[in-house]
Amino acid sequence: MTQELKRKYQKHMLITSMIITVAIFFAGMLFGIGLDKYRIKEVTNILNQNELDMQSYITEQMFFENLDTNECELIKTSIISLTKTISNIGRKLELYGSKTTFENSEFDYLKRKYFISEIRLYNHITSYRKDCGANYDVLLYFYKIDDELSIRQGYILDDLFLERNNDMTTLSFDIEYKEEPLLDIIKQKYNITQSPAIIINGDKTFQGKIINKYEIKEYLNN
């Protein structure tokens, strides 16, 4: 093979390699965009279903007021179902939010919608505790993304939730999220300035350190 042919061959291989590299890059981008859209659609569908469930819950409460029945047990069943749905949405948002690269504004919107749904559920649980005298605990948990203390505290709360079965709900919020004014109101009311932070039943606050499961249980049992 002459020197001229070698140069032509090397040039051809270089161009071919560049074309393949660019093609793979754009194929990856298109795949990522498609995956993001799938994730957004999935979470949006669950959030929409949760909104419908919330409306159903409110309608049930109004209906029970006109019936001679044990409405408190029925309300608890609805709260347990709503809690499971909210937890599922939170897990998906946490998983997808850490992987998305193209649709951050969409995920921010879904995150805000999720936080609002959590606050609505908190209001329903608070009313249930008051109206039914129910021994049902609700914890508000403020975490910081990628913070080691927050991650460890989250595991502790997950473990406690599984142990308590159907008598407790934990609602989690990003302490640095600025797009929802209601979260600022809650942080101001309870003077939340550090993470991790836990508000138990609206009257006991821990923040800035990890609280183990037994300390939380001790307070819940008092």
- Buried/exposed 31-47: b ≥16 CB within 10 Å, e otherwise: eeeebbeebbeebeebb
CATH of span 1-134: 1.20.58
This prediction has a pTM of: 0.70
What is the DSSP annotation of 134-174? ---EEEEEEE-TT-HHHHHHHHHHHHHHHHHTTSEEEEEEE
Helices (H), 65-147: 71-97, 104-132
Mapped onto helix, strand or coil, the DSSP state of residue 197 is: strand
- Buried/exposed 206-215: b ≥16 CB within 10 Å, e otherwise: bbeeebeeee
| Across 3-7, 75-79, 153-157, 215-219, least confident range | 3-7
Determine the pLDDT at residue 134: 86
Question: For the chain, how many residues are written?
Answer: 222
Domain extents for the chain? 1-134, 136-222
Q: Are 71 and 64 in contact (CB under 8 A)?
A: yes
Instruction: Judge if 1-134 and 136-222 fold alike in CATH terms.
Output: no
Q: What is the pLDDT of residues 166-199, one digit of tens each?
A: 889 999 999 998 888 889 999 999 999 999 999 9
CATH of span 136-222: 3.40.30.10
Q: What is the pLDDT of residues 28-53, one digit of tens each?
A: 444 444 545 655 666 666 666 656 66
What is the sign of the dihedral through the CA atoms of 146, 188, 86 and 159? positive
